[in-house]
């Protein structure tokens, strides 16, 4: 039987990445997909690119989590590396898609975007907004990269799912490159907001390895560099 600390015991077990007693990373995808567990089941944070379906399903089966126990897939934003296999996972897992209300029109295809080219569009079942609580996590609206980008704050584990707000490149925290964001200055404002308002120790980016200690402090150091550089 595995033993968990209350928060950060980061383990790599045959590409099973156990971050806290509630949170695991499904490794092997260009875009990270996380699982958040509770006593009733689990939710996925993002779905990954179009070739990610079997990676997610194999992980779920290998961990004995049960396909019928998936309570939802929460989308941090609409880019194709996050929703490429969303429709297929939704159908296979018979679950709900949850996203910010400003992202829905891109995910369901009413508004076409270069960043969703080639994806199979899917209906969003639950729209959320800033401050909503979703499966025990607080939704933080962090626009800039996209209009409806969100972070998810798991307060019990002091963990923050940051989506593409921040990336971890070779253990260096960075803002997402400006040319990938609709509004780079607003993205910086969102980074400053999470630092100012939230208490967290762990940061869980969509790109790069999780930061399992002193994440908020490291984001504070990143913010100091904003005064030295423009975002464009």
What is the spatial distance between Cα 174 and Cα 143, in angstroms, rounded to a whole number? 17
Q: What is the mean pLDDT of residues 114-132?
A: 96
pLDDT classification of 196: cutoffs 50, 70, 90? very high
Least confident of 48-52, 150-154, 227-231: 227-231
54 domain-assigned: yes
Quote the pLDDT of residue 230. 64
Q: Are 50 and 85 in contact (CB under 8 A)?
A: yes
pTM of the model: 0.91
Higher pLDDT, 33 or 29: 33
5 domain-assigned: no
Least confident of 88-97, 133-142, 173-182: 173-182
Quote the pLDDT of residue 16. 53
Q: The domain that contains 148 carries what CATH number?
A: 3.60.15.10
Domain extent, residue 169, equals: 11-226
Tokens of 166: 């921040």
- Cα→Cα distances 100→24, 65, 149, 205, Å: 23, 26, 7, 18
pLDDT classification of 150: cutoffs 50, 70, 90? very high
Q: What percent of the chain has pLDDT over 70?
A: 91
Question: Could you identify the residue written with the tokens 């940051």?
Answer: 162
Do strands 23-26 and 126-128 pair parallel, antiparallel, or not at all (unpaired)?
A: unpaired
SS3 163: strand
6 domain-assigned: no
Among residues 48, 2, 3, the alpha carbon closest in space to that of 25 is found at 48
Tally the domains of the chain: 1
3 domain-assigned: no
Is 60 exceeded by the pLDDT of residue 228? yes
pLDDT digits (tens, 9 = 90+) for 10-28: 444 334 589 999 999 997 6
Is 60 exceeded by the pLDDT of residue 8? no
Is 70 exceeded by the pLDDT of residue 207? yes
Burial 201-232 (b: 16+ CB within 10 A, else e): bbbbbbbbbbbbeebbebbeebeeeeeeeebe
Q: Are 182 and 145 in contact (CB under 8 A)?
A: yes
Quote the pLDDT of residue 17. 87
Quote the pLDDT of residue 129. 98
Quote the pLDDT of residue 27. 72
Q: What percent of the chain has pLDDT over 90?
A: 86
């Amino acid at each position: 039987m595995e033993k968990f600390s209350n928060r950060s015991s980061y383990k790599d077990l045959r590409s099973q990445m156990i971050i806290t007693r509630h949170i695991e990373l499904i490794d092997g995808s260009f875009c990270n997909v996380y699982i958040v567990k509770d006593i009733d089941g689990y939710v996925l944070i993002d779905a990954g690119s179009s070739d990610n379906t079997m990676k997610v399903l194999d992980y779920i089966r290998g961990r004995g989590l049960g396909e019928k126990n998936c309570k939802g897939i929460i989308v941090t934003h609409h880019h194709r590396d996050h929703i490429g296999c969303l429709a297929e996972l939704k159908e296979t897992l018979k679950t709900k898609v949850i996203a910010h209300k400003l992202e829905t029109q891109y995910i369901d295809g009413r508004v076409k975007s270069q960043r969703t080219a080639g994806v199979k569009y899917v209906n969003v079942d639950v729209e959320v907004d800033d401050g909503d609580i979703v499966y025990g996590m607080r939704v933080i609206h962090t626009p800039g990269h996209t209009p409806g980008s969100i972070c998810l704050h798991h307060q019990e584990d002091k963990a923050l799912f940051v989506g593409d707000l921040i990336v971890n490149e070779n253990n260096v925290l960075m803002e997402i490159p400006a040319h990938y964001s609709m509004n780079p200055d607003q993205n910086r404002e969102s980074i400053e907001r999470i630092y100012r308002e939230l208490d967290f120790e762990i940061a869980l980016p969509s790109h790069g390895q999780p930061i399992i200690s002193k994440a908020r402090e490291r984001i504070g150091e990143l913010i100091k560099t904003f005064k030295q550089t423009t975002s464009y």
